[in-house]
């Protein structure tokens, strides 16, 4: 079949002179003739749905050379589009020039396009999924910031080159260079774009540019592109060292394996300068001498080199230097034999490998040396896993790169265990396992060597001799056990294909923020890390793969895609995971099953999401920083530019990986003037950027934690949109160009080297160190009793993936949080905090006083403008997944040792489920004083998220006479926790719906008394069981209708309750603190009503009066007391807040026993508020 390469056009402006769409098309015989190409377009709206082929008009492309074609959509179509109600839609088509029955379409649905592989294209499905061009007016363009320019020059051999067709991928903006070789694009919207230059007889030019970037120089080499119609670009399949690896041996060769046959003339040679196509450098200007050789097959290559074809080997002239950071730069001038430039991890083409050589092994004691000892952050199988397959492999992830010579079967052992966890337990070491280190240097691979025995307990132990690449052992005693985990086998081997259980962003997601740190993919079982890479997991626009790095998290069973550039506002992106023998596989070697198409085994998994059209206009800031003896970690408010040596942004000073952007100082605690304090040397420091958590870590420091503060200053570094023309907006601190942060230098024996957010939680993690001696870390050393007594939790009330829910926060504050101080919660990737807000005090007793029975009243309150509700004290940062709770400056501070508890709602759970055999999800918790200095740092106990189900529960609620009023409906389940939705009545009815339910038992209910307008109704009080299954829910839809009964004395027994008491002294207390529940209970039912007492003196002649309705003849106990939380927040009261005379508290009135007899109505009961002094 022919081939189409295209990145879809996202936006066009009414009135622009052209609307051109560029695409590359070819077949196996070479380039196509224009007559074999077509673009179908349609303007939707005005009765046209643009979802069938008959509504489209076809235009033929015009050839631009090098296989590119330009398709022009008439301006009348674009300008006739109705803004905000329709758009221009299009589909591409290529036809084989020899056999006209061989056709390929390209739409927004890869699954629909794949139907052409069978020989008959499903055009109905294809034309139901067109690309969509958002048409905006010039005024909207101004609002969106689409007034920027990108310009530059294209050269060949140092001379300006004319006749080059230049376009911005993903836009309708293009031009052709003249004799000057210059190009200029106007009306560019904010974002990062790939500039493509194409001309017959020349290889493509590519450059990654931000809107507003000018003065660009692009080079095109003479040659051909796409021999035989093959325009696919080569990638790096494997390298040793891996990118960002630490601890590479100084005497080793450097190897890179490509995915395609390469042109050896662009590789071979002796390195002498940065003008070479490939060079190794420590600073971007000096070159490490050596010889570069390409081997297309496995013959004649150096001993010990990888066995793969298409191998590049660099042999340094001398050993590398210990403890030094190196960068191998491979330019896009390195091409494949089909004339295509290398497309690696470097924006605009090319590839860089940044690595650090092995440190000197001296000084590896605790409290000195290069860093904190390494520790375990994840295992597969997880500790306590059961029914593990008999052909499983074991993966162990360390906190940092390890010394490969120390990762062996002596230092990591596997045992069989009989009578586990009993006094007669015995363990027997196994002789068959082999232990190796993967290419990242962080994952130990344990192969049992034999099929495991069914229904047996196995144990893996990690000993102190395991050593980091920096030369630090896990313990001073090499034979001490530092970590262990157990698992139980099942009865069978694993032959089941793994599946994808969820992605973030989810398939079909819209309005995704442009500042996305990472894209997450969750798997149903443990995967083979060797199969998880940028060749098997891709981020695409159209069928253009974007530059990205892919990482696998063993403990989470998840892959993360880390895009090298920011996402483009309004762009549609595709997550693609390769299936079949060349794709990802589980640790038993079973490859991923297709989930997206009926074409089983032939269709890669894909999920599509669309980015918000709102551009990033915020300057990055420092959220917090933390330093200990060995390192500092700085967490930013959004993803940052992380360009490496040799890239334009690095040379311009915008990268967070550039050392000169940092100044670190230390001085005695309480220092306020830092101007005269000397900076700490960063010569030996190694920088490591954690893109998932927007955190730069500066390792290799030697700070003093005894009574010292630190100040970090970050200058010049920018976010991923930065360029020379917008630096004042997109650099740290905005126009000031810098930001600082001050805090105490901590002891590494307490930080454990876990400096930034995203730690593994107490189930994993660093060892405990005392007096230079390390004890077992992770689950082996975790204090479960301590966590029960003083828990550290951030737990969702509902545990279903993708559900908006309330999170319950509790932790021990070892230091007092002052009034005006703050608490920052940083959630893991996939959590949406955009609508986070404080739960009202009417629904959360905890939020009335977050330190509970301890001294003072501590509340969350502040003036702020973000999150679900303004001015509730909860502010949010979407890009860093951070929720900040500010302590009310007008109330008390907490005390050291207080337990802090509060509730935040509106947080959407991650869409990727994590079950109990993973590390789960954790939340980073930090507290700060008023000046923003760090007080406490901790990681929550893990929580787990269940996959959403396919069932929906719908229903209609009838309440006669109700109109425009709202009520809350609750759905409870022991499987997931509570669900809640709010319905609005109109014409006496309201509809509710709960989606994403799994099969199981649920309970549906409401409050006992529902007030709609001024009328009280009896709610759906007794939780009614709903059995969700395929039998009760045809088509996966369950239905449950119910009614609210109007409360009056014609249908129930009316009881008037009069309350007498002087409540004027309650002045100054919020209305919610004067809420009381009036209640009545009997064997026949329960009635409760929440009312609010006024700031007045209720007397016998003028009492507070209210009515409740009793359902049946019975003995009723009647009383009142402080209002209890309603709905899902049903925690009991810890403290009564209703106050009387200075300082007094409303005393619970013991229920009064009433005998209700048949025919007795109405009734009246007088109750007095008793007060007592405290």
Rounded CA separation 8/106 (Å): 10
All residues at 6 or more sequence positions from 849 whose CB lies less than 8 Å from its CB, including other chains? 857, 858, 859, 1135, 1137
Selection from 258-272, 370-384, 1077-1091 with the highest mean pLDDT: 258-272
Same-domain status, 796 and 935: yes
Last residue of a domain, one of 440, 463, 489: 489
pLDDT at residue 768, as a whole number: 54
Length of the chain equals 1174
pLDDT at residue 1060, as a whole number: 83
pLDDT at residue 736, as a whole number: 93
Residue 214's Cα: distance from chain center in Å?
33
For the chain, percent of residues with pLDDT exceeding 90:
43
Same-domain status, 158 and 105: no
Same-domain status, 681 and 720: yes
Same-domain status, 1119 and 1020: no
| Residue 105 forms part of a structural domain | yes
CA atoms within 13 A on the CB side of 979: 24
pLDDT at residue 271, as a whole number: 80
Contact (Cβ atoms closer than 8 angstroms) between residue 199 and residue 163? yes
- Per-residue pLDDT reduced to its tens digit, 542-594: 777 888 889 998 888 999 999 888 888 888 888 999 988 889 999 999 998 76
pLDDT at residue 14, as a whole number: 78
Rounded CA separation 188/209 (Å): 11
| Residue 97 forms part of a structural domain | yes
pLDDT at residue 1139, as a whole number: 32
* Run of H or E residues at 667: strand 662-668
Q: Give me the torsion for CA of 1063, 1065, 1067, 1073, rounded to 10°.
A: -60
Which pTM was predicted?
0.81
pLDDT at residue 367, as a whole number: 40
pLDDT at residue 1138, as a whole number: 33
pLDDT tier at 392, thresholds 50, 70, 90: very high
pLDDT at residue 413, as a whole number: 96
Rounded CA separation 453/415 (Å): 12
From the list 857, 846, 662, the residue with the least C-alpha distance to 740 is 662
pLDDT tier at 232, thresholds 50, 70, 90: confident
pLDDT tier at 999, thresholds 50, 70, 90: very high
- Per-residue pLDDT reduced to its tens digit, 1060-1112: 877 776 545 555 567 788 888 888 778 888 888 888 888 888 888 888 888 88
pLDDT tier at 953, thresholds 50, 70, 90: very high
pLDDT at residue 595, as a whole number: 55
Residue 693 scores a pLDDT above 60: yes
Same-domain status, 282 and 320: yes
pLDDT at residue 760, as a whole number: 59
pLDDT tier at 322, thresholds 50, 70, 90: confident
| Residue 945 forms part of a structural domain | no
CATH number at residue 1146: 2.60.40
Same-domain status, 914 and 804: yes
pLDDT tier at 887, thresholds 50, 70, 90: very high
Residue 95 scores a pLDDT above 60: yes
List the domain range (segments joined by +) for residue 449: 376-489
Same-domain status, 785 and 916: yes
Last residue of a domain, one of 323, 357, 391: 357
Residue 629 scores a pLDDT above 90: no
Last residue of a domain, one of 198, 229, 260: 229
Same-domain status, 329 and 416: no
Across the chain, mean pLDDT equals: 85
Strand 254-258 and strand 311-316: the pairing is antiparallel
Residue 1122 scores a pLDDT above 70: yes
Same-domain status, 62 and 82: yes
- Per-residue pLDDT reduced to its tens digit, 1123-1165: 777 665 443 333 333 333 333 333 334 445 555 544 444 555 5
pLDDT at residue 708, as a whole number: 93
Residue 1166 scores a pLDDT above 70: no
Same-domain status, 600 and 656: no
Residue 600 scores a pLDDT above 50: no
| Residue 290 forms part of a structural domain | yes
* 104-126: average pLDDT: 88
CATH number at residue 176: 2.60.40.1120
* 588-614: average pLDDT: 73
| Residue 768 forms part of a structural domain | no
Is 827 in a helix, a strand, or coil?
strand
| Residue 176 forms part of a structural domain | yes
pLDDT tier at 158, thresholds 50, 70, 90: confident
* Domain count across the chain: 9
Residue 393 scores a pLDDT above 80: yes
| Residue 763 forms part of a structural domain | no
Same-domain status, 425 and 444: yes
CATH number at residue 603: 2.60.40.1220
pLDDT at residue 254, as a whole number: 94
| Residue 147 forms part of a structural domain | no
Is 449 in a helix, a strand, or coil?
coil
Residue 185 scores a pLDDT above 90: yes
Same-domain status, 789 and 921: yes
């Amino acid at each position: 079949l022919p081939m189409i390469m295209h990145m879809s056009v996202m936006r066009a402006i009414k009135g622009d002179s052209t609307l051109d769409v560029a695409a590359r098309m070819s077949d196996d015989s070479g380039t196509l003739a224009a007559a074999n190409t077509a673009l179908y377009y349609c303007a939707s709206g005005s009765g046209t749905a643009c979802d069938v082929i008959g509504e489209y008009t076809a235009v033929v492309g015009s050839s631009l050379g090098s296989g590119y074609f330009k398709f022009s959509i008439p301006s009348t179509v674009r300008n006739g589009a109705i803004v905000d109600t329709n758009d221009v839609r299009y589909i591409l088509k290529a036809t084989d020039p020899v056999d006209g029955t061989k056709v390929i379409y390209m739409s927004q649905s890869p699954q629909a396009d794949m139907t052409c592989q069978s020989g008959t294209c499903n055009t109905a499905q294809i034309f139901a999924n067109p690309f969509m061009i958002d048409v905006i007016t010039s005024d909207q363009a101004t609002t969106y910031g689409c007034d920027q320019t990108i310009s530059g020059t294209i050269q060949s051999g140092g001379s300006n080159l004319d006749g080059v067709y230049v376009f911005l991928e993903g836009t309708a903006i293009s031009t052709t260079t003249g004799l000057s070789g210059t190009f200029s694009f106007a009306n560019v919207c904010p974002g990062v774009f790939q500039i493509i230059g194409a001309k017959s007889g020349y290889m493509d030019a590519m450059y990654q540019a931000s809107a507003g970037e000018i003065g660009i120089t692009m080079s095109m080499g003479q040659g051909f592109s796409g021999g035989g119609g093959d325009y696919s670009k080569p990638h790096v399949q494997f390298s040793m060292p891996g990118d960002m690896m630490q601890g590479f041996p100084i005497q080793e060769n450097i190897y890179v394996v490509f995915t395609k046959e390469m042109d050896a003339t662009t590789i071979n040679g002796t390195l002498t300068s940065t003008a070479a196509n490939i060079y190794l450098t420590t600073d971007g200007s000096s070159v490490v001498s050596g010889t570069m050789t390409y081997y297309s097959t496995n013959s004649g290559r150096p001993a010990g080199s990888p066995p793969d074809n298409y191998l590049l080997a660099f042999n340094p002239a001398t050993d590398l230097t210990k403890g030094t950071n190196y960068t191998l730069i491979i330019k896009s001038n390195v091409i494949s034999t089909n004339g295509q430039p290398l497309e690696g991890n470097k924006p605009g083409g090319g590839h860089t490998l940044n690595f650090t050589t092995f440190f000197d092994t001296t000084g590896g004691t605790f409290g000195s040396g290069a860093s904190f000892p390494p520790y375990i952050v994840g295992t597969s199988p997880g500790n306590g896993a059961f029914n593990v397959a008999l052909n499983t492999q074991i993966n162990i992830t360390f906190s940092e790169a390890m010394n490969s010579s120390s990762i062996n079967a002596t230092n990591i052992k596997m045992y069989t265990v009989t009578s586990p966890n009993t006094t007669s337990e015995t363990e027997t070491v196994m002789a068959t396992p082999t232990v190796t280190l993967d290419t990242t240097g962080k994952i130990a691979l344990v192969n049992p060597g034999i099929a495991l025995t069914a229904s047996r307990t196995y144990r893996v132990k990690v000993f102190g001799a395991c050593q980091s690449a920096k030369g630090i052992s896990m313990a001073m005693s090499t034979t001490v056990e530092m970590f262990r985990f157990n698992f139980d086998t099942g009865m069978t081997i694993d032959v089941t294909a793994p599946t994808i259980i969820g992605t973030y962003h989810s398939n079909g997601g819209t309005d995704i923020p442009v500042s996305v740190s990472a894209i997450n993919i969750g798997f149903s079982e443990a995967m083979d890390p060797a199969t998880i890479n940028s060749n098997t997991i891709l981020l695409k626009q159209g069928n253009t793969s974007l530059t990205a790095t892919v990482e696998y998290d063993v403990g989470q069973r998840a892959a993360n895609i880390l895009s090298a550039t920011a996402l483009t506002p309004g762009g549609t992106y595709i997550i693609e995971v390769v299936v079949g023998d060349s794709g990802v596989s589980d640790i038993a070697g079973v490859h991923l099953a297709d989930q997206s198409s009926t074409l089983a085994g032939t269709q890669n998994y894909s999920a599509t999401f669309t980015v918000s059209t709102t551009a990033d206009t915020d300057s990055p800031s420092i959220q917090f920083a933390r330093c200990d003896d060995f390192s500092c970690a700085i967490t930013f408010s959004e993803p940052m530019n992380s360009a490496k040596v040799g890239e334009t942004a690095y040379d311009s000073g915008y990268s967070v990986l550039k050392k000169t952007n940092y100044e670190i100082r230390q001085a005695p605690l309480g220092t306020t003037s830092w101007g005269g304090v000397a900076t700490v040397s960063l010569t030996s420091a190694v920088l490591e950027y954690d893109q998932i958590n927007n955190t730069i870590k500066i390792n290799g420091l030697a700070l003093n934690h005894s009574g010292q503060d630190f100040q970090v200053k970050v200058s010049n570094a920018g976010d991923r949109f930065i360029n020379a023309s917008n630096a004042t907006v997109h650099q740290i601190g905005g126009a000031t160009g810098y930001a600082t942060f001050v805090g105490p230098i901590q002891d590494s024996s307490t930080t454990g080297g876990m400096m930034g957010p995203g730690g593994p939680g107490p189930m994993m993690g660093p060892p405990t160190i005392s007096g230079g001696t390390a004890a077992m870390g992770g689950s082996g050393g975790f204090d479960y009793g301590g966590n029960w007594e003083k828990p550290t939790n951030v737990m969702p009330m509902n545990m279903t993936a993708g559900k908006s829910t309330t999170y319950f926060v509790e932790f021990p504050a070892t230091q007092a949080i002052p009034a005006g101080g703050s608490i920052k919660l940083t959630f893991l990737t996939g959590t949406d905090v955009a609508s986070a807000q404080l739960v009202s005090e009417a629904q959360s007793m905890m939020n009335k006083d977050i330190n509970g029975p301890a001294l003072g009243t501590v509340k969350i309150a502040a003036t702020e403008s973000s999150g679900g509700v303004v001015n509730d004290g909860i502010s949010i940062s979407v890009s860093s997944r951070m929720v900040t709770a500010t302590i009310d400056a007008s109330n008390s501070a907490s005390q050291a040792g207080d337990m802090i508890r509060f509730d935040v709602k509106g947080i959407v759970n991650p869409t990727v489920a994590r079950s109990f055999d993973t590390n789960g999800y954790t939340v980073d918790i930090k507290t700060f004083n008023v000046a923003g200095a760090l007080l406490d740092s901790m990681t929550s106990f893990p929580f787990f998220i269940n996959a959403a189900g396919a069932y929906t529960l719908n229903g209609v609620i009838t309440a006669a006479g109700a109109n425009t009023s709202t009520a809350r409906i609750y759905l409870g389940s022991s499987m997931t926790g509570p669900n809640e939705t709010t319905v609005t009545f109109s014409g006496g009815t309201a509809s509710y719906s709960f989606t994403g339910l799994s099969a199981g038992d649920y309970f549906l209910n409401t409050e006992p008394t529902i007030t709609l307008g001024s009328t009280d109704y009896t709610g759906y009080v007794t939780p009614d069981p709903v059995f969700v299954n395929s039998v009760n829910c045809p088509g996966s839809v369950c239905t449950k209708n119910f009614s609210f009964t109007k409360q009056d004395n014609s249908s129930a027994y009316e009881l008037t309750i009069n309350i007498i008491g002087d409540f004027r002294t309650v002045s100054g207390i919020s209305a919610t603190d004067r809420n009381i529940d009036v209640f009545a209970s009997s064997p026949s039912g329960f009635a409760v009503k929440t009312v609010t007492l006024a700031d007045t003196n209720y007397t016998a002649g003028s009492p507070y009066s209210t009515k409740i309705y009793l359902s049946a003849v019975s003995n009723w106990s009647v009383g009142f007391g402080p209002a209890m939380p309603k709905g899902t927040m049903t925690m009991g009261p810890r403290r009564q807040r209703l106050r009387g005379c200075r300082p007094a508290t409303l005393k619970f009135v013991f229920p009064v026993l009433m005998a209700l007899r048949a025919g007795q109505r109405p009734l009246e009961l007088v109750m007095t508020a008793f007060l007592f002094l405290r």
